[in-house]
Amino acid sequence: MKLTLALAQINTTLGVLPANLEVHLTKIAEARQAGADLLVFPELSLTGYVLQDLTPTVAIHPSSADPIFKPLLEASREIDLVVGFVEEDQRHRFFIASAYLSKGEVLHVHHKVYLPTYGLFDEGRFFAWGDTVRAFDTRFGRLGMLICEDFWHASPPYLLWLDGADLMLFTSASPGRGLNREPRLESARWVDHINQAYASLFTTFIVHTNRVGYEDGLNFWGGSTIHDPNGELLVKAPHHQVALTLAEIDLNQLHRTRARLPLLRDERTALVMREMSRILGEGSPVNR
């Protein structure tokens, strides 16, 4: 099965949902025109990233009752969408969230689990952390979504892999940092490395959409990528420029790679469980 993916490497207006919605609808029209089946927007694509005290004012709920989600759900009848937003739950906790929209329905919502609160990051001050990592079924097979810091930790991609995700959709609003002699910033080099590593280790497709633009002195570096189950780079968007990047992927590559390299077949999940129980159990090194 072949599938055309589109990565919407956009800039955002900080805290202005209607302006960002307009950008989404424009990109959706472009991606549809170009024949895309699934269009992935970056982390917090509907709100911008450094929200701080704007967080509660931009929080929404993904349903057709919401004026921002209504047109996006309409658009999802023609093309599957991943959008980034702030979700406020019934108990008024705020999450960094990604929603997968298809055929007018919200198929899945992921809440960012790992909220970086160090260095230039302050997410833990404003957001609640998600508490689940789940794969979900779509018309293209079983997928998984993670947001930025989620995939700086090895366990969420590992859990998605075991939960059946053969296509992982990663989204970021990654501030560029670490200028040295190299043509890529250190932050860009790091993300490229780990995405290639996940594709290789899990013999899976890794899709990453990062945003561009500036918020005060922060630059967002773009460079969105797709890696295939062999760990090969299929496509890379430019750094620091708005782009709509398309690539056709062949899901049969999963069959070919895993026939050669049966890492998933050989994964010893019962051993992992047993050892995790020991490591985290009473009297274990972690608890000493």
DSSP states of 234-252 as a string? EEEPPBTS-EEEEEEEETH
CB of 87 to other proteins, least distance (A): 21
Tell me the C-alpha distance between 189 and 176, whole Å: 10
Shortest distance in whole angstroms from residue 16 CB to other proteins: 6
Judge contact between 99 and 70, C-beta under 8 A.
no
Interface map 95-134 toward other proteins (x if CB under 8 A): ----------------------------------------
To other proteins, the closest distance from the beta carbon of 270 in angstroms equals: 42
Q: What angle do CA 177, 246, 233 make, to 5 degrees?
A: 60
Residue 53 in the binding site for other proteins (CB under 8 A): yes
The dihedral of CA 139, 140, 141, 144: what is its sign? negative
Site for other proteins in 182-221 (CB under 8 A): 182-185, 213-217, 219
Maximal C-alpha separation, the chain: 60
For residue 180, the minimal CB distance to other proteins (Å) is 6
Q: Bridge-partner residues for 80, per DSSP?
A: 38
Smaller CB separation from other proteins, 13 or 196: 13
Write the CB contacts of 126 (distance below 8 Å, at least 6 apart in sequence): 51, 52, 53, 55, 94
Q: What DSSP element (H or E) covers 78?
A: none
Least Å from the CB of residue 50 to other proteins: 5
Q: 224 to 253, contacts with other proteins by CB under 8 A?
A: 239-240
Taking residues 2 to 31 in sequence order and writing x for each that binds other proteins by CB under 8 A, - otherwise, the string is: -----------xxxx---------------
In the stretch 147-176, what mask flags binding to other proteins with x, by CB under 8 A? Answer: -----------------------------x
Which tokens sit at 241? 């420029």
Distance of CA 27 to the CA centre of its chain: 17
**Chain residues in the site for other proteins (CB under 8 A):** 13-16, 50, 52-54, 176, 179-185, 213-217, 219, 239-240
